[in-house]
Amino acid sequence: MEIYLPVAEMSVNWLIIIALGTGVGFLSGLFGVGGGFLMTPLLVFTGIPSTVAVATTLSHVTASSMSGALAQWRKRGIDFALAGVMLVGGVVGTVFGVWLFALMRRQGQMDLIVSLTYVIMLGSIGFIMLRESLATLKAYRSGATVSHHAVSRGWILGLPFKMRFRQSRLYISVIPPIGIGFVVGTLSAIMGIGGGFIIVPAMIYLLRMPTRMVMGTSLVQIIAVTSITTVLQATHNFAVDIVLAGLLVSGGVVGAQLGVRAGAKLRGEQLRFLLALLVLTVGAGLAWQLVARPADIYSLAEAAP
């Protein structure tokens, strides 16, 4: 049941990797996220070097996003114009992120930065989601209607370079979407994630996009960013393992479809509550690893000659 990974230069049990792909795919279909934030730490846990884990998880996210985007496309839920504008920032952010990744790897601080970024992102997003879903669940029980308090958009309306996005019925400056794209592109390269859990709230609360356009448009952005990052990771860091990617993706796409079906049976706020717990658990686990005394304070890495 062992298979040799040519780039990671190690053998893994392929059944475990496919199961991992299916499991994370199921959760990503269930919650409508790419699942990169779960996949990367889990791969590292199975002994795959973190550089390979970060770079290869992106293919898993590309595939599951592709699957979701096609479904949204049929429902005309994609604003290609807005996705294109965000991608401008995304490309710049990706190039910056891959450069940063190579720099951190040379400095020996890659693992620390990846873990810290994860703890901060997962901690804050998980906390916000938990609070929001609990409030909604409570309100639902008491029978009251919930009003979403959006972030004040005053400063966003005042920005220049306005553009009209007809499908989303928006007339906004291009600066916020480009900025969102940049942040997500950078994080994608460093963390091996698509960034859905950042783009989706940003589009809803900052850009005030209609919810039915949010999913599809963010998925297009994620496909583009993860594809570009995969190519850049392959050319700059030689860190993409195509055999590992194939196994993850094969499990992932099946799991994602099963997850979507299971998700249809649960209510939105219940899903968000469960996702918040999951996100916080992963975040807490990583935070513990940062502060707990390591078993061996020395670590060994093969260096470039």
The residues binding other proteins (CB under 8 A) are 2-4, 6-7, 9-11, 59-60, 62-68, 70-71, 74, 108-109, 111-112, 116, 223, 227, 230-235, 238, 240, 242-243, 245-246, 249-250, 253-254, 256-257, 290-294, 296-305
Q: How far apart are CA 185 and CA 250, in angstroms?
A: 25
Q: Measured from the CB of residue 60, what is the shortest distance to other proteins in angstroms?
A: 7
Q: Measured from the CB of residue 285, what is the shortest distance to other proteins in angstroms?
A: 15
Q: Where does 1-78 have alpha helices with state H?
A: 14-31, 36-45, 50-74
50 versus 250: smaller Cβ distance to other proteins: 250
Residue 209: HSE in the Cβ half-sphere, 13 Å Cα cutoff: 28
Helix (H), strand (E) at residue 11: strand 10-13
Tokens of 181: 């794209």
60 versus 272: smaller Cβ distance to other proteins: 60
Q: Cα 206 to chain center, whole Å?
A: 19
Q: How far apart are CA 87 and CA 67, in angstroms?
A: 19
3 versus 81: smaller Cβ distance to other proteins: 3
Lookup result for tokens 């291009």: 174
172 versus 223: smaller Cβ distance to other proteins: 223
Q: Measured from the CB of residue 61, what is the shortest distance to other proteins in angstroms?
A: 8
Q: Measured from the CB of residue 8, what is the shortest distance to other proteins in angstroms?
A: 10
Could you tell me if 56 and 246 are in contact, meaning their C-beta atoms sit under 8 angstroms apart?
Answer: no
119 versus 278: smaller Cβ distance to other proteins: 119
Phi, psi for residue 278 in degrees, rounded to 5? -60, -45
If one counts every other C-beta atom within 10 angstroms of the C-beta of residue 17, the result is: 22
∠159-82-272 over CA atoms, to 5°?
A: 95
Q: Measured from the CB of residue 85, what is the shortest distance to other proteins in angstroms?
A: 22
Contacts of 294 (CB under 8 A, 6+ apart): none
14 versus 165: smaller Cβ distance to other proteins: 14
Tokens of 188: 């994608």
Q: Measured from the CB of residue 200, what is the shortest distance to other proteins in angstroms?
A: 19
Q: Which residues pair with 163 in a beta bridge?
A: 172
61 versus 174: smaller Cβ distance to other proteins: 61
Q: Measured from the CB of residue 158, what is the shortest distance to other proteins in angstroms?
A: 39
